[in-house]
Amino acid sequence: MNAAQTAPGLEQRRAALARRIPQWTRLSIGDWFDRLAAEFAEREHIYTPERSYSYAESRQTVDRLAKSLMALGVQRRDHVAMLFPTVPELAFLQLAVAKIGCVCVPLNERMGAVDLAYQVRQSDSVCLLAMDHCEDRHYIDKIQQMLPEMLGACRTLGVESENAPQRGQFLPDSPPHSGTMGQEDGKKWAAAAHSQPTIPKSDRLLGAPGGWRAEAFPRLHSVVVQSPSGARYGGALDWEAFLRLGDGVSDEALRARQEASRYPDEVALICYTSGTTGSPKGVMVTHDMLMRSAYSAAYSQGLIEGERIASPLPLHHMFIYVEGFLALLFVGGAYIPQALFDAGAFLQLLEQSRATRIESVPTIAVALLNHPDLPQRKLCLRAMKNAAAATPLWVWEALQRDMGITEMVTGWGMTETSAAAMYTPFGASLEVITNTVGLEKPGGVAGLEEFGGNLVECKLIDPSTKEDLPPDAPEGELAVRGNIVTRGYYKKPIETGEAIDKDGWLRTGDVFARRSDGYYLITGRAKDLYKIGGELVAPKEIEEMIGQHEAVNQVYICGVPDERMGEVGAAFVQFKAGRSCTEEELTTFVQTRVARFKIPKYWVFVEDFPMTASGKVQKFLLRQLASEKFGLHEIRNHTTSR
């Protein structure tokens, strides 16, 4: 294995960034992208084994997608949902949606149809763009389950068909790929395609252009499906036809739309996170929040010019979107995604792409270290960030020894803080990196003077009274405020009011301790959430789902420690009188309704539950019972990021 690349020191890197951006300019994401893409036009922007995109090529692709969205009838401030694995198309779409003043609603591709339907509906999305499948994950099945009206309509651009196509079936009325269609057919299709977006806005809710209407989704008017195999689906616009829609939109029209959208304090992204009530909450973040957080990530971590970040983390998540993809723009770096994680393929990708840095979670790091191909790979790695869960000391040591990692970082953040709000400082000791989540993240020119140049201000409060705790308090719930903190949850004023007070302080729900040297560490959870491999799970959501089983009387779920995933679910089930079922039956029942990672790992069948005097279940006693029953006492567990 090659030695790690040498790189200039932190101060030199920050100075280089300061020379390029001497003061913070409040711009929209689209304007920031255009400015930086022009500066780094010939550099590689996105690398995959199949294709590489320069910054100039990415900008052309983003503009074409933006025009197609305009032609589809997407108006300023409309919400656009996206269901993709981590592929370049998702990155381009997120930029295109921001450029035309719309709101991106990225969906977790691991979610089940019920979760996806809720998020599309609750977000008031007007269109859904999706990939039909990636490897063995068939997203089109979820879409057709959500929207049976779309499948039943079987109409593409005004052509009716009696039989709805099944997954992967080609529609004869759909435009084939370029080069397989006659001239007259091509003209017919072009005319039909360009006629669709002229439908008046008042009529858009009638289901155009797919020929269907879904009562459960009153705002949704279009579905666009990209298929790597070229499949077409009834009621959906295929990717090639979607791209051709934008051919009729001029550069001047796009510029005018972008100029009308230059409000950096408008919401650019609604990202869903689990809530204590069980229903996900749409976190609203603005253009300026995202770009400040991204700049701070580049500044505080010392990204070098031309940095090459590889990551299999999902791009729908705030972590990699902000601290990887957007942060790289400020240093003209390359983003190297992996659609679905595979340790062996990722090691090969690291070698082929000449990646210098990895953005990761501990489970991924362990999988890479344990893979038999690692010793044979010639890597150029210098740096790695592991967050979202605790990383044991032995993992950091092995990363140094076996992968040549010399710069290691962890931190803490949450969707509501536009990614990380704390980092361990550049060059921190392994003791600090292992046992703490660092200090408030420095912002450079994007920081606030009143916060000492940081992006956020932190304090500890009493979880019950919400009163401030004295500086020497041993621990308390963390509250945070700053110019990267969400303005609230979409269409959830009660939850917003409970989380954010009148002065902008956000209650994080995590219990922190503050060491005498100023470093923070997480000691517990003020809210009843747990995290599996970096993904938050709300127990109530799964409890309600299991409670629908005909044999179940009551069920309560708690998070318990797990060596590989950080935490997993333990379900305590009470059956109805005279009824019962097996663990296998319950697992099968749940896995058809929720994402796989939400399925409890442990099942305990009980006669009754430990209760307080007021009749509330004592979940801490359930956790103790699960730990004793399954031998979990020795597993150390603390979470480093929400």
Q: What's the per-residue H, E or C state across 24-83?
A: CCCCCHHHHHHHHHHHCCCCEEEECCCCEEEHHHHHHHHHHHHHHHHHCCCCCCCEEEEE
The last residue of a domain, from among 497, 525, 553: 525
Same domain, yes or no: 284 and 425: yes
**Domain enclosing residue 89, as ranges:** 29-177+187-195+209-259
Same domain, yes or no: 106 and 237: yes
For residue 279, pLDDT beyond 80? no
Count of domains observed in the chain:
3
Same domain, yes or no: 471 and 577: no
Q: Is the omega angle on the peptide bond into residue 337 within 30 degrees of 0, that is, cis?
A: no
CATH number at residue 344: 3.40.50.12780
For residue 531, pLDDT beyond 90? no
Does 434 map to a domain?
Answer: yes
Contact 456, 480 (CB under 8 A): yes
Same domain, yes or no: 495 and 537: no
Same domain, yes or no: 501 and 545: no
CATH number at residue 96: 3.40.50.980
Q: Using CA atoms, how far apart are residues 186 and 514, in angstroms rounded to an integer?
A: 66
Same domain, yes or no: 113 and 44: yes
CB neighbourhood size of 75 (10 A):
14
pLDDT digits (tens, 9 = 90+) for 44-54: 999 999 999 99
Q: What confidence category does residue 152 fall into, taking pLDDT thresholds of 50, 70 and 90? A: low
Given this model, what pLDDT does residue 6 score? 61
* Percent of the chain clearing pLDDT 70 (strictly above): 86
Does 266 map to a domain?
Answer: no
For residue 208, pLDDT beyond 70? no
- Give the phi and the psi of residue 393 in degrees, each rounded to 5: -60, -40
* Average pLDDT of the segment spanning 127-149: 94
Question: Of 75-84, 275-284, 385-394, 403-412, which gets the smallest average pLDDT?
Answer: 275-284
Q: Using CA atoms, how far apart are residues 437 and 585, in angstroms rounded to an integer?
A: 40
Does 45 map to a domain?
Answer: yes
Q: What confidence category does residue 198 fall into, taking pLDDT thresholds of 50, 70 and 90? A: very low
Given this model, what pLDDT does residue 74 score? 97
Q: Using CA atoms, how far apart are residues 594 and 389, in angstroms rounded to an integer?
A: 22
Please return the burial class of 10, using the count of CB atoms within 10 Å of its CB with bins 0-12, 13-18 and 19+.
Answer: middle
Does 426 map to a domain?
Answer: yes
Q: What confidence category does residue 16 fall into, taking pLDDT thresholds of 50, 70 and 90? A: very high
Q: Using CA atoms, how far apart are residues 114 and 111, in angstroms rounded to an integer?
A: 8
* β-strands 79-83, 103-106 pairing: parallel
For residue 181, pLDDT beyond 60? no
The last residue of a domain, from among 525, 544, 575: 525
Same domain, yes or no: 597 and 621: yes
For residue 164, pLDDT beyond 70? no
Residue 454 pairs in a beta bridge with 442
Token reading at 389: 């869960």
Task: Say which DSSP state 96 is in.
Answer: H
Same domain, yes or no: 521 and 539: no
Same domain, yes or no: 521 and 544: no
Of 219, 263, 213, nearest to 73 by C-alpha is 219
Of 333, 332, 349, nearest to 341 by C-alpha is 349
Does 245 map to a domain?
Answer: yes
Does 474 map to a domain?
Answer: yes
- Give the phi and the psi of residue 361 in degrees, each rounded to 5: -120, 160
Task: Say which DSSP state 442 is in.
Answer: B
Does 402 map to a domain?
Answer: yes
For residue 457, pLDDT beyond 60? yes
Place of tokens 């992996």: 338
Token reading at 404: 């040549």
Q: What confidence category does residue 577 fall into, taking pLDDT thresholds of 50, 70 and 90? A: confident
339: Cα within 13 Å, side-chain hemisphere: 16
Contact 232, 165 (CB under 8 A): yes
For residue 194, pLDDT beyond 50? no
How far does Cα 98 stand from its chain's mean position? 16
pLDDT digits (tens, 9 = 90+) for 404-453: 999 999 999 999 999 999 999 988 999 999 999 999 999 999 999 999 99
* β-strands 308-311, 357-360 pairing: parallel
Q: Using CA atoms, how far apart are residues 335 and 377, in angstroms rounded to an integer?
A: 20
Token reading at 100: 């035309």
Same domain, yes or no: 519 and 536: no
Q: What confidence category does residue 587 fall into, taking pLDDT thresholds of 50, 70 and 90? A: very high
Instruction: Supply the mean pLDDT for the chain.
Output: 86
Given this model, what pLDDT does residue 465 score? 85
CATH number at residue 535: 3.30.300.30
Does 270 map to a domain?
Answer: no
Same domain, yes or no: 169 and 290: no
Residue 129 pairs in a beta bridge with 82, 224
Same domain, yes or no: 37 and 122: yes
* Average pLDDT of the segment spanning 35-41: 98
263: Cα within 13 Å, side-chain hemisphere: 14
